[in-house]
Amino acid sequence: MLVLAERLRAENGGVLDDSAIQAVAEATGAPSEYVRLAVKLRSERAKDSFLRNARSQYLTLEPEVRRYVASGVAAILFALFFALGGKLDAGDTYGVFKMVGLLALAVGAYNASVAKDGRVAAICGAVFGGGYFALSSVFDFMLRIPDTKVDAWMLIPITALGAVAGVTLHKTVNKYRDRLGLKDPVKERQELLRQLVSLQDRLRSNEQHMTFLSLDIVGSTKMKAHTDPLSVEFTFTEYHQFVERIVRKWGGSIHSTAGDGITCAFENPQQGFSAARNIQTGIIELNTFRNKIGIPIVLRAGVHTGTVVTPQAGDIKSVNFAHVIDIAAHLQKVCPPGGIAVSDLAASMVPGGAAAIGSIKVNASDVNAVIWDPRPAVPTVGAAQIPMRPSIPEQS
């Protein structure tokens, strides 16, 4: 959503108005209020000039509120510059301050004329008229302009007159929109949607369905606590090389490492599950011949599959914030030591399905998974078979 919003902003000269926000909402399925808030929070974090940040904040307001704010600002400027003109222009009808005040009046009139409907136009006109009357009295008093007389009862008729003027301007502009060269809101909306669809197609061109395997060593911190540093470095280097060899053997690659955790990427769940099973069964050989710590390495593993979008085609290592990677890591954390937690989605794509993997179920982040365990089930009372896992001594 934010990528679409930022790219649309870039293609429209740095502006993301209400039509663009609504188009982003429709294209992504997110509520427009959510899009507006996300863009606003993103703008707040941006280190930019005061005027640019103020403009960004203004554009994230609701469209009707934006019109009212613009009318109020125009009324303030109109009242202020006319008061300054009366004080400093020395009776000059075409003084600088009065001309600037007329420009503010034109802005207020334009703001009401391009409102989305007559009701908003009326309110904009009322805000401008009432605001000008009230503020002109304030500014006249502050500037100590002589012969200033205020009739408070005039506030209501002037406000009503502003509302009528706003509606009239709105109707006139709508009638002659084509002659005035103003954009048709419907056509503008269609053009924004066309741009969004084009952006989505470009983003989805790098969309891939990938499987991720998350591995972590049980109690690795305590394993290293009272062991010779050289032995630790040798053993863990051998472990990483061992994992990388098996991952490449099954057509995968090392996506990332964090501490003793390793995340591996594969094209399909069958490869990921086969590699995980190969690692769990082959760790015995590593512990027997290449582990110099004296404490066996015990692993947890999680496998999940899903869709990721890469910035460049095939550049899977550049993907760091993906839901599928998070789920694989969460499944690994709830997996029993020595086992593999395979999400139901990934298990359904493995030959034989979940039944061929195991019968024990776990859940992480509302994702169900089945546990593969290398230790065979043992018989209990009668003919019933209950999967049993002999306890593993705590390594931490």
Does position 55 have pLDDT exceeding 80, yes or no?
Answer: no
Please tell me the predicted confidence (pLDDT) of residue 322: 85
Of 68, 65, 69, 74, which Cα lies nearest the Cα of 132? 74
DSSP notation for 315-382: -GGG--S-HHHHHHHHHHHHSPTT-EEEEHHHHTTSTTTGGGT-SEEEEETTEEEEEE-SSPPEE-ST
Q: Which tens digit of pLDDT belongs to each residue from 153-163? A: 788 888 999 99
Q: Is 283 exposed, middle or buried (0-12, 13-18, 19+ CB in 10 A)?
A: buried
Which residue would you say has higher pLDDT here, 343 or 97?
A: 343
Does position 182 have pLDDT exceeding 70, yes or no?
Answer: no
How sure is the predictor about 116, in pLDDT bands with cuts at 50, 70 and 90? confident
Q: Which tens digit of pLDDT belongs to each residue from 232-241? A: 999 999 999 9
Does position 26 have pLDDT exceeding 80, yes or no?
Answer: no
Does position 2 have pLDDT exceeding 80, yes or no?
Answer: no
Does position 148 have pLDDT exceeding 60, yes or no?
Answer: no
Is CATH 3.30.70.1230 the classification given to domain 207-386?
A: yes
Residues ≥6 apart with Cβ < 8 Å to 310: 206, 208, 316, 318, 319
Cα of first residue to Cα of last residue in the chain, in angstroms, is 43
How sure is the predictor about 371, in pLDDT bands with cuts at 50, 70 and 90? very high
Q: Among the ranges 4-18, 82-96, 152-166, which has the highest mean pLDDT value?
A: 152-166
Which residue would you say has higher pLDDT here, 383 or 311?
A: 311
| Residue boundaries of the structural domains of the chain | 2-200, 207-386
How sure is the predictor about 9, in pLDDT bands with cuts at 50, 70 and 90? confident
Q: Among the ranges 16-25, 193-202, 314-323, 335-344, which has the highest mean pLDDT value?
A: 335-344
Q: Which tens digit of pLDDT belongs to each residue from 249-287? A: 999 999 999 888 999 999 999 999 999 999 999 999 999
Rounded to whole angstroms, what are the CA distances from 356 to 342, 351, 370, 388? Answer: 11, 8, 10, 17
Q: Point out the least confidently predicted range of 55-59, 101-105, 300-304, 390-394.
A: 390-394
- What integer is the mean pLDDT of 327-344? 95
- What integer is the mean pLDDT of 39-67? 69
